[in-house]
Structures are given as C-alpha cells and as structure tokens.
Structure 1
C-alpha cells in the first residue's frame, strides 16, 4: 500500500484496518513508520496531523493510543553515573 508524505508506506492507515490489532503490534508499526520518515522530517510535527486524519477512529484504538504516546517528550535523564555523579 502506498501512502503520502505523512505516512509514506501507508503503515499507520493500514493499522486501522487490521481487526484485533494489539498495542504491541501498533508500537512495532509506529517504530517502523518513524524509521521510514525522511531525516529532515520530525515525527513530533507529523503525529498531530495523523491524529487529526484518523479522528474518526475510536479513542481506545491501540494506534490512537500509540500516536498519543508518541507525542510525549522523552524524560530528561537524571543523575549521571560515575565519579562525577557521586561527588557533591
């Protein structure tokens, strides 16, 4: 299946057509989708557009939940290890 600039392989759209898809499968699809994005394209700017495109899907669909999780920023690392981290 061919997609567009936001979903080049049509992976996200196809996930909504798979009956009984699981959260784990959606996460795998999401990772595959993110790896296929062009380097200059930031997934954080594309995800809201995908959510809007698939707004007709149920809120509890695993891919909707996965896309929302993809919007969350990764937490900043806490204390660094090693000697510098142990010294006050």
Structure 2
C-alpha cells in the first residue's frame, strides 16, 4: 500500500503530494480545487482546512499550498450568497 499522508480527510493524498512538489500558486489552487470537490457535501470545511494547516503548514510555511489553504480558510469566514439585490432591500 502506498503512503498518502496521515489524514483521513485527504484519502487520495492530493494535499500530501502537493507539499512534496515544488509548485506555484496556480498549481496549488488546481490541486486544492480537486481535493475540495472530492470532499463530502456538507462536511465542515473550516475544520478540514485547519487540520490540513496543522499537519503541513508548520513544516512548510512558505509553500504555495500553505497560502492557498489560508486563503480558503479566509473565504470560509465570508457569508454565502448574494450581498445585494431585492432580498437585501426587502429583508
């Protein structure tokens, strides 16, 4: 069996392998998107991103994937949906 990292939230080892490569932001975003699309609908993305950062970011703070994971975590703090339009005026 091939080792793909310590985390159950990365069963295909995409994030694990990304940290083993010398890649830039574009490649990291692409890998992240592939990983995110493979997660279960309704999963706690904030908790998963924090787990990934705990596992990898301290060892590789300057890796492009670390920046992408932090960016994803920041976006989780923003409210979903539209911020304007009729619903905002009426509600």
TM-score, length-scaled by structure 2? 0.74
Distance in 2 separating the partners of 1:67 and 1:28: 12
Question: Residue 51 of structure 1 is aligned with which of 50, 53, 58?
Answer: 53
Cα drift, residue 49 of structure 1: 0.7
Structure whose residues are more often helix by fraction: 2
Partner SS for 2:40 = coil
Distance in 1 separating the partners of 2:44 and 2:83: 25
Distance in 2 separating the partners of 1:42 and 1:63: 19
Cα drift, residue 47 of structure 1: 0.6
Describe the superposition over 1:7-28 as per-residue Cα deviations: whole angstroms up to 9, x where unpaired. 1110001001112x01011001
* Number of equivalences: 82
When Rg is computed on C-alpha atoms for both structures, the one with the higher figure is: 1
Unpaired segments of 5 or more residues in structure 2? none
TM-score, length-scaled by structure 1? 0.76
Show the counterpart of 1:5.
Answer: 8
